[in-house]
Structure 1
Amino acid sequence: MDVRRVKFSVIAIILQIIFIILFGVLGEYGDSAKAKSPSPAYDVASMYPYFQDVHVMIFVGFGFLMTFLKRYGFSAVSVNLLLAAFVIQWAYIVRGIIHSVAHGHAKFPVHLGEMLSADFASATVLISFGAVLGKTSPLQLLIMALIEVVLSQINEYIGLDKLGAVDVGESMYIHAFGAYFGLAVARVLRNDQHDEAKSEGSVYHSDVFSMIGTIFLWIFWPSFNGGAASGDEQHRALINTYLSLAACTVITFAFSQLVDNRGKFNMVHIQNATLAGGVALGTSANMPLQPWAAMAIGCLAGIISVIGYQYITPFLDSKLKIHDTCGVNNLHGMPGILAGIVGAAFAAMASSDTWGESVYEIFPLMVPADNSTELMDVMKEYPMITEAGIGRSSTTQGGYQMLALVLTLVVSIVGGALTGLILRLPCFDNVHGNRMFDDREFFIVEGQGFPENEDGGFDDDANHTKVPMLSQNS
């Protein structure tokens, strides 16, 4: 057997063994899951439905959304499953080291809350996967995931724990990061052979399958934005996301028709831009925006996304040589930036006069500093506030929100470019020319799955053995 065909298997097995060892050495059940003296730290009954919603988004939503390529359906769904399963384990380890082991704890806790965070981490990598869909090998994607999870979790740690920049729906730390990391990888991996690819594009049934992913993501997106919140914050996150998605969908259909010379809807827009409202609301979902503002943000996100697919994606491809297979810049990148800006703007306008105690619950660092008269007054007025902050002003909080967005863009772009350079090494099984966007490079595919009027065969292995394509009627 060709060494190239077993390299992925050997490395995947080694990494899985390493994961098991690291879980054995560094991981343990969280307090609420321990057999002896369990602590009621997590309300499993109330949290698990939100986790399950996000779980469906990761494995069904993202997977089927990327099945629009006519010859890449196997890879879109299957490699999505592979990457998500791989990242869930790796993210647990990386997050455990950053948040527990590095702070003096002997082991990191394994519990339902971290299961949700691990799913969020996998979403970051799957967004990047969309930018390089069809142009990378499974081995390259595993290496990309190893690097990206580390960088994204460090970026999130700095943003949340050090800068105090909140992002309940992770639009900055997941969507923007994943999009621009993936675009940077795609730019570095691009070569002159991209133009030789013959299999890129969709057919009727592949676009229908992609809509399955769209519908699942659309339905469950409120859980993505609100699953990590609680109380009134969670209630607002669900309402705001729900309304933003609805308004975004209507505007997407309207603008899709307006930008087309024939006045027709474009399925690329319908599959993707209808979801942009969920991304654009992520950072501010738990804030008291008022329903009309959530709807307005959804409308703006739909407009930006449609314009991105219609005009910006072709510009990036032709002028900047950035080939974005799924258009992640339009669904995750630009709406993620919009989310960060909206979050910063509302943070700068936040006050206890209009938000009540929610301003301190959403922005804990805005609670007055310890041993101050202001702290005593706040605790007296709002008994739910039990810990001191640093007395950060709303304007300063807004500035830190913007700083976190800028940091996210810098880390994702630089990290993605460096990762792309690593993935260019021949040892990682680069995919070239007409082998791109074709399942037959890595999967056993029945010939009936491909039109008979295209090329008559495919180089299925290193010895260039021709696999004849069968007629649809065979």
Structure 2
Amino acid sequence: MRLKLPVTCLILEIILIILFGTLVQYNYETDASEWHNQTSSDYENDFYYRYASFQDVHVMIFIGFGFLMTFLQRYGFSSVGFNFLIAAFALQWATLMQGFFHGFHGGKIHVGVESMINADFCTGAVLISFGAVLGKTSPVQLLIMAMFEVTLFAVNEYVVLSVLGAKDAGGSMTIHTFGAYFGLMVTRVLYRPNLDKSKHRNSSVYHSDLFAMIGTLYLWMFWPSFNSAVTAHGDDQHRTAMNTYYSLAACTLSSYAMSAITAHDGKLDMVHIQNAALAGGVAVGTAGEMMLTPFGSMIVGFLAGTISVLGYKYLSPVLEDKLKIQDTCGINNLHGMPGILGAIVGAVTAATATMEIYGKGMEDVFPLVADGTFTASDQAIRQAISLAVTLGIALLGGLIVGFILKLPLFGAPPDTICFEDSIYWEVPGEEPSHEEQLTVVRTAETEKLNN
């Protein structure tokens, strides 16, 4: 058991280093000789336009997702630590897999700051799936899951964006819907009938929910950068950030409202606030660069927050009881349903696109409509087909990968000790309770009096 993780990490990294040495090189904006042969101004380099967005996305991947999952009372080390491990592996593997489809020419994969952003996007889908199996899987299982999911993500992304010509700037379909339903299918296959033996650990405490809220706030703040990071420069990038900004704000208010309404005593549920308040960023992802308008963005965000809270309150128990889907983080409510909503909004918004609304900007947002290849209705149909394709690949891929992860050689924890850090980590001594502290003080005072 003690050798499985180090051997897996070393083998995977050695393979990655060999593949990078064989296949990967700088693109023309990164290569010293090529860049200076093509331009006279360093300020035209894509680095100056995209690096700030990349850093924002990077913070979301490593801090936002990591801390969002620290709500479990005895799984904080694993939530942040395994998030770190999976992300570090997935971004390297994603560079290769996405490179084969988008940056491969001359027998090499050409990388730059945009490929770094795209690799982080792919990693985001893997971390969404991680939320479904959180606490119930070994780190080796997670690495194997990431390896397969990154590969399938790259295939789906190529089919949706390149073959079908769909638009999905913020990844409502390719990132959130794919990651959610892949993860839900994996956790369904890995169903644990005796998980109730660990039920007492599958819950939060005061300070663990506070840590999780840190992740929420980082994600909430940087989500406009996430959705706009790879759109073209100028008005469409500006518009994507603004649409996301207003959608998140409206989503937050609807989340607070629905959380109080659905509670029997009118009190807020921190689980709803941590998660549902982010659903607006998910739901506006596909249509973010379109002329959705601030008004439309707020409606989308409002609906997303409402759907997400209702999902946590009423749908999650049904999925577990009836469909045997043990979704630890409720990714269906934060990423799955809002992702589908975002895909539908994108299709409807595409169907209404006209030259009167977009003008010359049509070339950036819907280039195939602008050049006459598609009509707006054709674009909308392709958006809808892309959602179906994404769901199909995610569900079928999750089914297959789930059965692979069931193999005993990957060292899954037993049902009785799930959601427990001490299986994998050196855990320091527990802090004494308030009563224990009082006992110590009283004992010391008694001894002092006796002396």
Question: How far off its partner does 1:450 sit?
Answer: 8.8
Aligned letter for 1:217? Answer: L
What is the one-letter code of the residue matched to 1:326? C
- Give the corresponding residue for 1:72: 75
Which one of the candidate residues 357, 362, 365 is aligned to 2:360? Answer: 357
Per the TM alignment, residue 193 of structure 1 is displaced from its structure 2 partner at its CA by 2.2
Q: CA deviation at 1:358?
A: 2.2
Q: Specify which of 14, 21, 25 is matched with residue 17 of structure 1.
A: 14
Report Cα offsets for 1:331-352 as digits up to 9, x if no partner. 0000000000000001111111
Which of 183, 201, 204 is the aligned partner of 1:202?
204
Quote the Cα distance in structure 2 between the aligned partners of 1:443 and 1:241: 38
Q: In structure 2, how many angstroms separate the alpha carbons of the residues matched to 1:10 and 1:452? A: 43
Q: Spell out, residue by residue over 1:196-240, the C-alpha distance to the aligned partner (whole angstroms, 9 max, x if none).
A: 113110000000000000000000000001111121001111111
Return 5+ residue gaps in structure 2 as ranges: 441-451
1:227 aligned residue? 229
Instruction: Report the aligned-residue RMSD.
Output: 1.8
Provide TM-score, normalisation by structure 1.
0.88
Q: C-alpha displacement at 1:105, in angstroms?
A: 2.6
Distance 1:168 1:473 in 2: 59
Is 1:337 matched up with 2:340? yes
Q: Letter of the aligned partner of 1:424 in structure 2? A: K
Aligned with residue 432 of structure 1, among 401, 414, 421: 414
Q: SS state of the match for residue 356, structure 1?
A: helix
Which stretch has the larger CA shift, 40-49 or 212-221?
Answer: 40-49
Q: Aligned letter for 1:118?
A: A
Structure 1 residues 37 and 253: alpha-carbon distance in aligned structure 2, compared to 1, 3 A threshold = same
Q: Give the whole-Å Cα distance in 2 for the aligned partners of 1:308 and 1:233.
A: 32
Q: 1:290 to 1:13 in 2, by over 3 A?
A: same
Give secondary structure in 2 for the equivalent of 1:304.
helix
- For residues 209 and 406 of structure 2, what CA distance do their matches in structure 1 show? 31
Instruction: Name the aligned partner's letter for residue 438 of structure 1.
Output: E
Q: Which amino acid in structure 2 is aligned with residue 7 of structure 1?
A: K
TM-score of the two chains, using structure 2 as the length reference = 0.93
**Per the alignment, do residues 415 and 35 of structure 1 end up closer, same or farther by CA in structure 2, a change over 3 Å counting?**
same
Deviation at 1:473, TM superposition (A): 8.7
The structure 1 residue matched to 2:386, chosen from 391, 404, 421, is 404
Q: Distance in 1 between matches of 2:263 and 2:270?
A: 12
1:240 alignment partner in structure 2: 243
Q: Out of 417, 421, 430, which is 2:403 matched to?
A: 421
Structure-1 separation of matches of 2:103 and 2:406:
34
Quote the residue 1:126 is aligned against: 127
CA distance in 2, matches of 1:155, 1:313: 27
Q: 2:262 aligns with which of 235, 252, 259?
A: 259
In structure 2, give the amino acid aligned to 1:419.
V
Contact 2:103 2:111 in 1 (8 A): no
Letter matched to residue 55 of structure 1: H
Greater percentage in helix: 2
The equivalent residue for 1:174 is: 175
1:160 paired residue number: 161
Distance in 1 between residues matched to 2:34 and 2:323, nearest whole Å: 59
Aligned residues between the structures: 432
Q: Percent identity?
A: 51
Aligned partner letter, 1:48:
Y
1:24-59 Cα shifts (integer Å, max 9, x gaps)? 000001111112131557421221100000000000
- 1:445-456 correspondence runs (5 A): 445-448=427-430
The answer to whether the Cα contact below 8 Å between 2:135 and 2:418 also exists between their aligned partners in 1 is: yes
Which residue identity is paired with 2:207? H
* Per-residue deviation, 1:357: 2.1
* Displacement of 1:452: 11
Which residue identity does 1:76 align to in structure 2? Answer: S
In the alignment, which of 215, 228, 235 is matched to residue 217 of structure 2? 215
Measured in 2, the distance between the counterparts of 1:355 and 1:262 equals 48
Task: Report whether the alignment pairs 1:26 with 2:26.
Answer: no
Q: Deviation per CA, 1:3-35, whole angstroms, max 9, x where unpaired?
A: x11111111101100100000000001111112
Residues 139-165 of structure 1, C-alpha deviation per residue, up to 9 Å, x if partnerless?
Answer: 000000000000011001000000001
CA distance in 2, matches of 1:450, 1:406: 53
Change (3 A) 1:473 1:46: farther
Q: Which residue of 2 aligns with 1:376?
A: none
Runs of 5+ in structure 1 lacking a partner? 370-389, 454-469
Judge conservation of contact 1:70–1:202 (CA < 8 Å) in 2: yes
Q: Does 1:316 align with 2:316?
A: no
